[in-house]
Amino acid sequence: MRKKKRRQSAIGNRQSAIPIPSVLSLLPLPSSAVFFFFVLARATQLHSSQMASAIPSLSSATAFTSRRPLLDNLKQANVKLGTPNQSTLLGKDHIRAKSFTRKSMTSAVEVSRFGDITMAPPDPILGVSEAFRADTHEMKLNLGVGAYRTEDLHPYVLNVVKKAENLMLERGENKEYLPIEGLAAFNKVTAELLLGAQNDVIQQQKIATVQGLSGTGSLRLAAALIERYFPGSKVLISSPTWGNHKNIFNDARVPWSEYRYYDPRTVGLDFHGMISDIKAAPEGSFVLLHGCAHNPTGIDPTPEQWESIADVIQEKNHIPFFDVAYQGFASGSLDTDASSVRLFAARGMELLVAQSYSKNLGLYAERIGAINVVCSSSDIAQRVKSQLKRLARPMYSNPPIHGARIVANVVGNSDLFNEWKEEMELMAGRIKSVRKKLYDSLSAKDNSGKDWSFVLKQIGMFSFTGLNNAQSENMTNKWHVYMTKDGRISLAGLSSAKCEYLADAIIDSYHNVS
């Protein structure tokens, strides 16, 4: 009797331990439902006694000659196929525990390691365009971003650029990586465009040229060179200057200070203040100069003043650092707009020059430019170039090819080059035309006797109106004229048809807003 009971007990234990998949395989369920029951049972470690309330005890696998009785038992246990009743199978305590776990996980997700990062302010220039797009007023004007527009205020793609791109398609050129220093053909023509092909610096190979990510990227690469090889040296920046200059040097951890440039009394150049501040700077400082069409003022030194600036920089053993973003686009002449840089190079001075083709070729989105370092010998130039490449490698590895090929095709082809010069003259001429019409409108409409001639004396795509922050706000809020808060307007975004409207806005803001 005892042996028989032991055998029955052993059999009972084995039967109660029948694997869940064996039971579920007997049910007429979809495979997904079977899998669900299996995972649910395993995850909650159901004991055979808990399963007994839903699934009847089995004496043997062969006892199931029909699946119908088991289905009936499942129905009586209030288990719906496809949508299992978890409170019946697992108990209410399990449901509460599961809900608590979900809340705990949610709380954990809400705690972020990035929670202390604050919202950055909108960009003072690019943010203007965002506000402009949201405005629905029919007379609205976007004079914030320095991008050329046609008389109809539409973006313009130069015809010569289209022709250069067609040449690229015809040649079937690939998209392979460029070397770190960029496209060799581009580097050659951009240095020649800057200094002149017959310049001694070019002929003696005393220049290190590396393709950069437009003007901004080229300035940033030069800043990295200064930080690494001239530690502690200060960069002198004009007051005011392009809004991104300070960001670039701050990011590169290069100290900077300002030299006087703009005179609000005359809305002109504070030349004496500029010379005085450059003289007072520590010897060996870098002096950031705008090669032409100073941004944001549009005020350039005269040729005689450039000579004096070069004199004091040489006396103080400073290093000139040019930002050339508008060559050919300011006066309409490539040579005239490069004259300041060529003056310094002709004196045998070592200098840095950042170039951009965003404006003069309209290649805003191609991000094409270069950093040039004029050195005292070809050997030094080679070493400088090697270090520029070393700095560029962890920044962006190598530059984009499309814009570089456009520039190489245009500048390197005499026919396309001449056509480009004609288009530049047309663009520069349109800006000069709206500048003159704006001056005429201001002079005719303003009866206060104010002298608006500074508008004509400025050059390039920008005009510094002399309006303060509050007055600039009035221009936007009342007149729907979008501009930077320092009073700068981009004449490249102005049509002759809207010059009188703009003049009304300027006169109202100047006289009626303190």
CA distances from 215 to 356, 385, 496 (A): 5, 18, 30
Please confirm, yes or no, whether 359 is among the known catalytic residues: yes
- Taking the C-alpha atoms of residue 144 and residue 492, their distance in angstroms, rounded to an integer, is 10
Q: Report yes or no: 79 and 85 within 8 Å, Cβ to Cβ.
A: yes
Kindly report the length of the chain: 514
The DSSP line for 434-461 is: HHHHHHHHHHHH--S----THHHH--SS
CA distances from 404 to 182, 232, 233 (A): 8, 34, 32
Q: Exactly one of 277, 323, 337, 437 is catalytic; which is it?
A: 323
- Taking the C-alpha atoms of residue 423 and residue 469, their distance in angstroms, rounded to an integer, is 36
Region of 293 please: left (phi>0), alpha (psi -120 to 50) or beta. left
- Taking the C-alpha atoms of residue 250 and residue 133, their distance in angstroms, rounded to an integer, is 31
At which residue do the structure tokens 């220093």 appear? Answer: 181
- For residue 114, what are the β-bridge partners? none
In sign, the C-alpha dihedral spanning 18, 22, 26, 27 is positive
Q: Exactly one of 242, 256, 420, 479 is catalytic; which is it?
A: 242
Q: Report yes or no: 36 and 84 within 8 Å, Cβ to Cβ.
A: yes
Please confirm, yes or no, whether 135 is among the known catalytic residues: no
The DSSP line for 390-423 is: HHHHHHHSS--SHHHHHHHHHHHSHHHHHHHHHH
- Taking the C-alpha atoms of residue 143 and residue 487, their distance in angstroms, rounded to an integer, is 10
Please confirm, yes or no, whether 323 is among the known catalytic residues: yes
CA 446 to chain centre: 40
- 356: helix, coil or strand? strand
Q: Exactly one of 206, 234, 270, 359 is catalytic; which is it?
A: 359
**Which residue, among 464, 444, 445, 458, has the nearest Cα to 508 in the 3D structure?**
445
- Taking the C-alpha atoms of residue 394 and residue 507, their distance in angstroms, rounded to an integer, is 51
In sign, the C-alpha dihedral spanning 278, 281, 285, 288 is negative
Rounded to the nearest 5 degrees, what angle is found at the Cα of 504, between the Cα atoms of 471 and 452?
80
Residue 475's Cβ-side half-sphere holds a number of Cα atoms within 13 Å equal to 32
- Taking the C-alpha atoms of residue 263 and residue 92, their distance in angstroms, rounded to an integer, is 79
Supply the residues annotated as catalytic: 242, 323, 359
